Amino acid sequence: MAMNNNTFRVLELYSGIGGMHFALQESNIPHEVVTAIDINPVANKIYSYNFPHTNLLETGIEGLTADWLDRLDFNMVLMSPPCQPFTRVGKRLDTKDSRTRSFLHFLDCLQKMKCPPSLMLLENVKGFEVSETRHLFLKTLKACNYKYQEFIFTPLQFGIPNSRSRYYLVAKKYPGKFYFDLTDELQEELPACSKQWLHHIEPSEDCGETTCLSQDKDINCLLTCKTEKEEIRDFLDYYNKYSTILHQEEFENGISYPNCKALKGFLETNQSKEYYDQFLMPEKYFSLFVILDIVCPHLRKSVCFTKRYGHYIEGAGSMIQMSTDGQSVKDAYDLKMKTQQLKNRKQWSEEEFDVVRKLKLRFFTPREIANLLCFPHTFDFPPETTLRQKYRVLGNSLNVHVVAVLIKLLNQDSNLML
């Protein structure tokens, strides 16, 4: 295999908006993406906008052949196959879902290649680990003489305040070896050698109590503001007492992650009031606030953002509360308790609507979700991309930092194989 200065030649399958490519950049390993492949035209426009010099093919993977893959001369493959056949909100048709065919075709090609890649990384939704597709994947890896390790990780473990549990697999072809102990069991703890790369982790003592959550008692400022320290402390006293019913607990599967950064570090700043106003939650959704995950900038957790976010409310992602008025939090707490007891979300008075209105709830902006997914500040959308398209592709994307750490883990002493 032809190599140049120990540079990895990478094939990016299901390339989407470039999450894997950005993870490669963050990992700092020497690399060249020889080809990226995706069939989604909206995602491809965003990918090309950010990586204009990468060879991007808008085609189905079912059309690839082993000979064509061999001619690409790549030694690393990164891929995130369609998750819909395995997600909990789908029908879980698994191998019977037409969207699985392309991945199964790639597995067939892999077995026929004369020079299969030395390194492999796959990301998918939690649920893939119990699928027949995963069983066929592992069977193929064993037949092709790969060693591998499976993981389930959430970004919360990496210091990122977003719950997004995903399945990951890293594989090396013999004679490559890993520098941590492999097990047939699916792991939920990071290998000790990878913890040196977790630069988002911070001391839990940083409670963020001086964080200013509003500007001129409005919606915009998210910067540290010592002059309002007493006001914010009073607000947090209210918030900590009454907000537990408004947002999900700081736990994930019974585990607390106190070393996550606060959400405020991922939010946009210095935007105009008019800019934020476009993300305010429409009043037609106010009665649904009882089923929402409502967070404020000092918290260290948000729920997973899905492709439905922005135009769908239930189960699509967290809403952010921009009011710093403690009484409004208590009133919202009382209203939610009352609504749950009466099981009434349809016959509200104007006074009840005003309780929700005072919370100043808004959607996270696309840039803020991209920040939580650890896309770099250089990432951007083509001007013609609609708001709905932005939310949709971000909901289908991956966490860049998590993948970057796994690429580093995969790369340990891999230069011995080049």
Count of CB atoms situated within 10 Å of the CB of 162:
26
Count of CB atoms situated within 10 Å of the CB of 354:
13
Cβ–Cβ under 8 Å, residues 273 and 310: no
The residues pairing with 187 across neighbouring beta strands, listed in sequence order, are: 151
Separation of alpha carbons 98 and 84, rounded Å: 10
Separation of alpha carbons 46 and 383, rounded Å: 10
Which one, of 62, 147, 163, lies nearest residue 103 by Cα?
Answer: 62
Integer CA distances (angstroms), 258 to 160, 223, 255, 294, 324, in order: 11, 21, 10, 19, 23
Q: Which residue has the tokens 């085609």?
A: 59
- Please enumerate in sequence order all residues whose Cβ is within 8 A of that of 22, keeping only pairs 6 or more positions apart, or say none: 50, 375, 376, 379, 400
Exposed (0-12), middle (13-18) or buried (19+): which is 328, by Cβ within 10 Å?
A: buried
Cβ–Cβ under 8 Å, residues 299 and 262: yes
Count of CB atoms situated within 10 Å of the CB of 358:
16
Edge-to-edge order in the sheet of strand 166-173: 56-57, 31-37, 8-13, 76-79, 119-125, 166-173, 146-153
Distance between the two ends of the chain, CA-based, in angstroms? 8
112 token code pair: 């026929």
Amino acid at 378: T
353 token code pair: 């609507």
Separation of alpha carbons 310 and 283, rounded Å: 14
Segment 303-306 long-range contacts (CB within 8 Å, at least 24 positions apart): 303/162, 303/163, 303/248, 304/162, 304/163, 304/164, 304/165, 305/162, 305/164, 305/364, 305/369, 305/372, 305/391, 305/394, 305/395, 306/395
Q: Which residues are catalytic?
A: 83
